[in-house]
Amino acid sequence: MRPLELKRAIVDKAHAVGFEKVGFTRAQLDDETPHLAEWLRRGFHGEMRWMERDPERRTDAARNLPNTQTLVCCALNYYQGPPESRPGTGIISSYARGSDYHAILQQKLEDVADFVESTCHVPTKLYVDTGPVLEKSYAVAAGLGWMGKHSNLISQAGSSWFFLGEILVPLALPVDMPVGDRCGSCTRCIEACPTRAIVEPYVVDSRLCISYLTIELRESIPRELRPGIGDRIYGCDDCQDVCPWNRFAKKSDEAAFFPREPLASMDLVAMLQMSREQFMSATKGSAIRRARYAGFLRNVAVALGNTRDSEAVVPLTIALEHEEPLVREHVAWALGTIGDERARQPLAARLEVEKNDCVYEELVWALKRLDANLG
């Protein structure tokens, strides 16, 4: 089969398994190497230390599969519309409300990769946000869209609500041309970011990003950033929500991306009260597990504090005895932030027995905040 015929056959196969967009690009992203190096030098990757390891592999796919010449980049729409807003609930990023996208895209990519291997008798390798490749930059090079100022890929035809996956192929296939940047003078995403994580157009400091803080960060969320998190408990979509191009977004009919129970119906208090076993059961097959049990309840505690709802005081005081120090620490902050007199005695009692330094410091802060607010 000639290269152009093979390319058309791969595109047909990708569309047949459900991908909306397919593009082809070369294995090397030479222009991105200095940009990645500068981003790492500035420490914008935070605790994501894997970004530092062998960064050359991220811009040269042939280092991941020898003789790779072409990347087949695929996009799958996951948009489910804006989340339902109900009092006392937290916001989960749209991509994580359904089943874990890794498994869904993996199967679809495997179907396409199997077609390539059986047709051409060559090995392939595929990634779904799981390997050392700059997938958004490769997708841009493959013509799937352009990089928005929020550093997410935007498609003129399909918004920015899609997952990306790549197939590495050791064959020279015709490549697609990138599309031009269509953000123009718009800065809505930069202005909308609650924590000012988009430090300049096209550059995100992950250490300030709510998605990083609620998912990748394993330790305490910096106190000064907690108010900006609001009621977001896993990820953040604000920069995408305000993007004018997303007015063209169409809902995905992929059933696996529909909001999952029981989390879809649980309020913040119910989430805070989940045992480890209940959390593991509720997040089976969900991307939310990435935050881990303590990290997820940490996020819930911050959201409860930001509600300033006095009805949360009693369940929060019970959570002061939680087994996880990370949870106790952020529960103390929430109680201090809500500023209800009923929290004083439980906070003081916990202070008398607390052994963890970070929790102890937060208890002291919470009591001082109560004193300042209540006198």
Contacts (Cβ under 8 Å, ≥6 apart) of 173: 3, 6, 7, 10, 24, 69, 70, 72
pLDDT averaged over the chain? 95
Length of the chain: 375
CA-closest candidate to residue 39, choices 218, 222, 206: 206
Q: What is the pLDDT of residue 1?
A: 79
Supply the pLDDT for residue 375.
64
Asked if residue 374 has pLDDT above 90, the reply is: no
CB atoms near residue 285 (< 10 Å): 12
Phi, psi of 207 (to 5 degrees): -65, -15
CATH of 260-375, one of 3.40.50.620, 1.25.40.10, 3.30.70.1060, 1.25.10.10: 1.25.10.10
Give me the amino acid identity at 8. Answer: R
In this predicted structure, the answer to whether residue 83 has a pLDDT above a threshold of 80 is: no
> Is the N-terminal amide bond of 201 cis, ω within 30° of 0?
no
- Return the pLDDT at 87: 84
Over residues 125-176, the pLDDT tens digits come to: 999 998 899 999 999 999 999 999 999 999 988 799 999 999 999 999 999 9
pLDDT range class, residue 370, cuts 50, 70, 90? very high
**% of the chain residues with pLDDT over 90:** 91
The CB density around residue 159, as the number of other CB atoms within 10 Å, is 21
pLDDT in tens, 265-298: 999 999 999 999 999 999 999 999 999 999 999 9
Amino acid at 26: R
Residues 6+ apart with CB under 8 A from 124: 65, 113, 116, 117, 167, 168, 169, 170
pLDDT band per the 50, 70, 90 thresholds, residue 85: confident
DSSP class of residue 341 equals G
The DSSP string of 109-132 is: HHHHHHHHHHHH----EEESS-SS
The residues of the chain that CATH labels 1.25.10.10 are: 260-375
DSSP per position, 143-165: TS-EE-TTSSEEBTTTBS-EEEE
Categorize the per-residue pLDDT at 30 as very low, low, confident or very high, splitting at 50, 70 and 90: confident
CA dist 99 and 14 (Å) reads 21
Q: What is the pLDDT of residue 188?
A: 98
Inform me whether the pLDDT recorded for 257 exceeds 70.
Answer: yes
Pick the catalytic residue: 129, 176, 241, 267? 129
| CA separation for the pair 76, 51 (Å, rounded) | 24
Dist. CA 320–CA 330, nearest whole Å: 9
Share of the chain above pLDDT 70, in %: 100
> Is residue 340 annotated as part of the catalytic site, yes or no?
no
Mean pLDDT of 21-46: 95
- Who's near 315: CB < 8 A, 6+ residues apart? 269, 272, 273, 304
Residue with tokens 């909308």: 192
For 162-171, the pLDDT digits (tens) are 999 999 999 9
Mark residue 21 as left, alpha or beta (left: phi above 0; alpha: psi -120 to 50; beta: remaining): beta
Q: Looking at residue 64, what is its pLDDT? A: 95
Report residue 311's pLDDT band, with 50, 70 and 90 as the boundaries: very high
DSSP code at position 178: P
CA 173 to CA 327: how far, in whole Å?
52
Contact of 147 with 239, CB cutoff 8 Å: no
- Secondary structure percentages of the chain, helix, strand, coil, to 5: 50, 10, 40
* Crossing angle for the helix pair 344-353 and 357-374, to the nearest 10 degrees: 150
Using alpha carbons, select from 215, 213, 212 the residue that is nearest to residue 286.
Answer: 215
202-214: pLDDT as tens digits: 999 999 999 999 9
Provide the 10 A C-beta neighbour count for residue 279.
20
What's residue 373's pLDDT?
81
Find where tokens 């093979």 sit.
6
Residue in this structure with the two tokens 């996951």, named with its chain if needed: 78
Which residues have a Cβ under 8 Å from the Cβ of 291 and sit 6 or more positions away? 214, 215, 234, 299
Distance CA 155, CA 144 (A): 6
